[in-house]
Structure 1
Amino acid sequence: MFTGIVQELGEVCLLATRGNGLSLGVQSSSEFAHELVSGDSVAVDGVCLTVVRRDGNRIFFDVIPETLACTTIGERSVGDKVNLEGSLRMGDSMGGHLVSGHVLGTAEIVAIEENRYYFHVVENLAPYLFEKGFIAVDGASLTIVSVDGAVFSVGLIPETLQRTTLGYKREKARVNIEIETSTKIQVDTLRRLMKL
């Protein structure tokens, strides 16, 4: 589990085909990497990945085809910035909302107006969008400001723009989306009950 509070920006240092998947390497700071060992979970742009190896401040992950199919990880290039967050530990503060790192789909930035960003989600995610609801965008815990069909907006403060990859994003950029778990459960339950 994660909090949706991005701890730092990493930089992609390796992308290599591995079978049907991908080997991903990310350069991080020594502060972030020093306690990581094989088997630890790290959210990379909101995607929960397992550390397979660490070499100094470089962290390596294997990305399977299923992950590539529903996230933007496969679209990254060497040198790209990525959001990083280590997994939640007992006693850690809960600054955002509970995030699993299980991305449900992607969205495209359709407009940027000063500090307001507008995203168009893949159609199957639209029923889960609610004003004032939590959403994770590339792993960053955000609050939805407005909803219009499959388009939602968020307001981003300068701190968020500086500490996450969102400050580097432009219109037409794609991002990873995770719906807050309790929202998804409630909507799915209601939809099932309505079919009875």
Structure 2
Amino acid sequence: MFTGIIEAIGEIAAVAETGGDLRLYVRTGALDLADVKLGDSIATNGVCLTAVALPGDGFVADVSRETLSHTRFTRLQVGEKVNLEKAMLPTTRFGGHIVSGHVDGVGVILSRQEDARSIRFTLQAPVALQRYLVAKGSVTVDGVSLTVNSVEGCDFVLNIVPHTAQETIIDGYQTGQQVHLEVDIIARYLEGLLGQVKDNNDNNSQGLTLDKLSAAGFMHR
């Protein structure tokens, strides 16, 4: 579990195809690895990766075909910058929102414009994620916890303050660039619960019928 508050900017040191999937070597820059051990999770551009080796200046992780199918990791290039966040601790200050590190889809940067000292981005989400985007709600972009300014169809607007631009890779975003999106996990759980309630109501929508009475043993045909 993560908070969406980026701790450091890393760099892809190596990308290797291994048995049909990928193995990544990520140099972690200023990220403190003193408390990281094998098997720990590190969010890399919003993707929860498990450290399988710790060479000293970073970590190595395997990326499954399932993860590759939902991310842009198949297009990663050596030297590419990435956002990094270690898994949260029980004592961690919760500055962002609940982030699982499971990417829901890939979005596209539609526009970028200066807005006083901030940067205003318009992004387009996949159609399947549209229903989870609400004004003033939360969304994760490449692992960064952000607030949605406004929504129109699949398009949504973000305002990036100078500190966020400086501490993440967002300052380098250009029109047409693809980014990882993770919607608010609470919205997903609510959708699932409401769907179950609707199904139960639909199943009971006919009220009392002869078939139901017969099945309950109250009458014989």
When the two structures are superposed, what TM-score results if normalisation uses the length of structure 1?
A: 0.95
CA RMSD of aligned residues (A): 1.4
Deviation at 1:58, TM superposition (A): 2.1
| Equivalence for 1:107 | 107
Deviation at 1:33, TM superposition (A): 2.2
Q: For the residues of structure 2 that align with 1:187 and 1:149, how far apart are their CA atoms?
A: 19
1:111-126 paired onto structure 2 within 5 Å: 111-114=111-114, 115-126=119-130
| Equivalence for 1:69 | 69
Show CA shifts across 1:59-85 (max 9, x none): 100000110110122221000000000
Show CA shifts across 1:113-163 (max 9, x none): 211111111111011110000110000000000100011111000111111
Q: For the residues of structure 2 that align with 1:2 and 1:41, how far apart are their CA atoms?
A: 9
Deviation at 1:30, TM superposition (A): 5.9
| Equivalence for 2:161 | 157
| Equivalence for 2:13 | 13
Name which of 136, 141, 145 aligns with 2:145: 141
Q: 1:65 to 1:189 in 2, by over 3 A?
A: same
Q: For the residues of structure 2 that align with 1:31 and 1:103, how far apart are their CA atoms?
A: 22
| Equivalence for 1:57 | 57
Q: For the residues of structure 2 that align with 1:169 and 1:31, how far apart are their CA atoms?
A: 22
Structure 1's unaligned 5+ residue stretches are none
Instruction: Give the share of equivalent positions with the same residue, in percent.
Output: 36
When the two structures are superposed, what TM-score results if normalisation uses the length of structure 2?
A: 0.85
- The one-letter code sitting in structure 1 at the alignment partner of 2:56 is G
SS of 1:142's partner is strand
Deviation at 1:186, TM superposition (A): 2.0
| Equivalence for 1:175 | 179
Which protein has greater RCO, CA pairs closer than 8 Å, 6+ apart?
A: 1
Q: For the residues of structure 2 that align with 1:90 and 1:6, how far apart are their CA atoms?
A: 17
Question: Do the aligned partners of 2:10 and 2:82 also contact (CA within 8 Å) in 1?
Answer: yes
SS of 1:68's partner is helix
Q: For the residues of structure 1 that align with 2:170 and 2:72, how far apart are their CA atoms?
A: 14
Deviation at 1:188, TM superposition (A): 3.9
Q: How many residues align?
A: 196
